[in-house]
Amino acid sequence: MELTQHSVHFTAETPSNGVLVRDFTVGEVTGALWSPAASASTRAPLVLMGHGGGNHSKSPAMAGRAERLVNGAGFHVATIDAPGHGDRPRTPHDEREITLMQQKMAAGEPVGEIVVRYNAHLAERAVPEWLATLDALQELPEIGAEGPVGYYGLNMGTAIGVPLTASEPRITAAVLGLFWYDETLAEAARRITVPIEFALQRDDEHIPLPSGLALFDAFASKQKSLHINSGSHKELPRFEADSAVRFFARHLTVDGSTA
């Protein structure tokens, strides 16, 4: 899938906790760019951040992680709404898969197979959108075509982020996790050699630990770190977001330090 070349069109801006949040569109894709409020036009590394399933580009979890990256390291952070998320319309295929997933969850049945299948479908649509968005963002003077780029995404953000990172050499470091092993996803992981930080929950009720470990093992990166915390799927400790800030500071800045 190829998208027509579009530029970033800013539609609103809001200051929040020392961060300037600028809503934007790239064609029909909606998103937000988070920058230091005092120096929004200053050149700095860019982190692309993908949200989890059922969420959107400005959900509380996304806002919290973006603010940590901006205030902690002075980065720009870009988020976009995945297909069928946020205000983006769902297709009949989206509706069928989501309904089936909800029925399985309500019955207490495993949903891994459905999530992996549906997220792979979303990734096929989302990866070209991310590439078009990155092209457009790099036209901005505060980002530029030569600046460092990282990717940060958990859950569905990993299902999209793995094939994105595998296909995009501009991404030079990634924080991922909380997802199942799947051979198609693992094949993409085997093509990734950039530094990786990967998070799993030991007591995840959806993702068996051996499955998550198998996906981590698939990455070809020589520099990869595995963080396993106790707790359920939604109990990933907030300090993992601080670890992500330090990870990106090491790999996307010259001196490896946070702001």
Residues 40-93 have pLDDT tens digits of 889 999 999 999 999 999 999 999 999 999 999 999 999 999 999 998 999 999
258, part of any domain:
no
pLDDT of residue 2: 47
Phi, psi for residue 99 in degrees, rounded to 5: -65, -45
Instruction: Provide the domain limits for residue 130.
Output: 9-252
3, part of any domain:
no
What percentage of the chain carries pLDDT values higher than 70?
Answer: 97
4, part of any domain:
no
Residue type, position 197, single letter: E
CATH number of the domain that 67 lies in?
A: 3.40.50.1820
Count of domains observed in the chain: 1
259, part of any domain:
no
pLDDT of residue 40: 82
pLDDT band at 165 (very low <50, low <70, confident <90, very high): very high
149, part of any domain:
yes
257, part of any domain:
no
1, part of any domain:
no
Burial 103-124 (b: 16+ CB within 10 A, else e): ebeeeeeebbebbbebbebbbe
